[in-house]
Amino acid sequence: MTPKQLWITVAVSATTALIAGTFYFVNKSRQSYEVVLTKEGPIKEAIYGLGTVASQHKFSFKVGVTKTIESIAVYEGDLVKKGDLLLKFTDGVVLKSPLEGTVLDLPYNAGENVFPDRAVISIENLRSLYVEARIDQEGTIRVKADLPVVLSFENLRSRTFTGTVHSIYPSQGEFVARIHSENLPAEILPGMTADVAIEVAHKDKALLIPVRAVNSGYALVQRNLGKEKVKVEIGLSDDEWAEVISGDLQTGEKVLIKR
């Protein structure tokens, strides 16, 4: 190979490497950002908590003094109506159900002595239910009666159920929202847990930006083949989108999110 040929080969190789390096840099730069468009639409802000299903109507009976059971008329799992016979004691006392419900706990047998420290029988109405949701202090300040609620259960993720906040109150160092729902299915039972979303605010029309696109009050926007930091003020937000209250942004702008 002549010196001239060697020079040409080196020059071509260097140019090729430069082009490849430039392409790699640009490609890598593009891959380091996810591009998402701002949009216009509705936004809801919710307070989240973990709820436990409970029965609104329940009955538990304890004796005042030691007694002996003469006979038992029901079994655990039985559905009873108000006034149905539950059991008799040897001293002639007869216990009848004060409500319609299901016998959940009946730990004694006929002929056994019962003592004041333990319930003889427990009954709950399994169709008259509510949800107790534990809410943190910050969220509690924004939760009010009659706010709409969405409930979801782990084994029924394809379905959601609506309800409303009945009341909110402190209990044993926690803040509890009592939620009533009229459309809970029969498979939901007391003791089950639910994810609770209490809607505290909403707008039907707002300029929306991905929550992940806002960092320390700024969003990175792609403009004129370059990147520009835009100061934005955020209003309502959910897990994915946030309302833009102020800032130099329009619907359909490309915001960049670091991968």
Domain containing residue 168: CATH number: 2.40.30.170
199 and 84 co-located in one domain: no
195 and 72 co-located in one domain: no
Q: Does any domain span residue 96?
A: yes
CATH number at residue 100: 2.40.50.100
Residue 9 has pLDDT above 80, yes or no: no
Lowest mean pLDDT among 33-37, 43-47, 138-142, 224-228: 224-228
- 8 pLDDT band, cuts 50/70/90, is very low
- 63 pLDDT band, cuts 50/70/90, is very high
Q: Does any domain span residue 36?
A: no
Residue 224: what pLDDT?
Answer: 85
- 6 pLDDT band, cuts 50/70/90, is very low
Q: Does any domain span residue 208?
A: no
- 1 pLDDT band, cuts 50/70/90, is low
132 and 81 co-located in one domain: no
Residue 15: what pLDDT?
Answer: 47
Burial (CB count <10 Å: 0-12, 13-18, 19+), residue 171: exposed
Half-sphere exposure of 8 toward its Cβ, with a 13 Å CA cutoff? Answer: 5
Domain around 65:
58-124
105 and 187 co-located in one domain: no
- 190 pLDDT band, cuts 50/70/90, is very high
Per-residue pLDDT, averaged over 89-113, amounts to 97
50 and 175 co-located in one domain: yes
- 254 pLDDT band, cuts 50/70/90, is very high
Residue 2: what pLDDT?
Answer: 53
41: Cβ contacts below 8 Å, ≥ 6 apart:
205, 206, 208, 241
Interatomic CA distance for residues 8 and 28, integer angstroms: 30
150 and 102 co-located in one domain: no
Interatomic CA distance for residues 98 and 100, integer angstroms: 7
Could you say which of 186, 203, 220 is where a domain stops?
203
- 32 pLDDT band, cuts 50/70/90, is confident
Residue 156: what pLDDT?
Answer: 87
165 and 115 co-located in one domain: no
Chain position carrying tokens 């140019």: 15
Residues above pLDDT 70, as percent of the chain: 88
Residue 198: what pLDDT?
Answer: 97
Average pLDDT value for the chain: 89
- 13 pLDDT band, cuts 50/70/90, is very low
151 and 51 co-located in one domain: yes
pTM exceeding 0.95: no
Residue 147: what pLDDT?
Answer: 97
100 and 182 co-located in one domain: no
Q: Does any domain span residue 192?
A: yes
102 and 160 co-located in one domain: no
Interatomic CA distance for residues 179 and 129, integer angstroms: 9
51 and 153 co-located in one domain: yes
Could you say which of 124, 145, 168 is where a domain stops?
124
Could you say which of 78, 94, 124 is where a domain stops?
124
Q: Does any domain span residue 193?
A: yes
Residue 155: what pLDDT?
Answer: 84
Per-residue pLDDT, averaged over 22-36, amounts to 59
Number of domains in the chain: 2
116 and 155 co-located in one domain: no
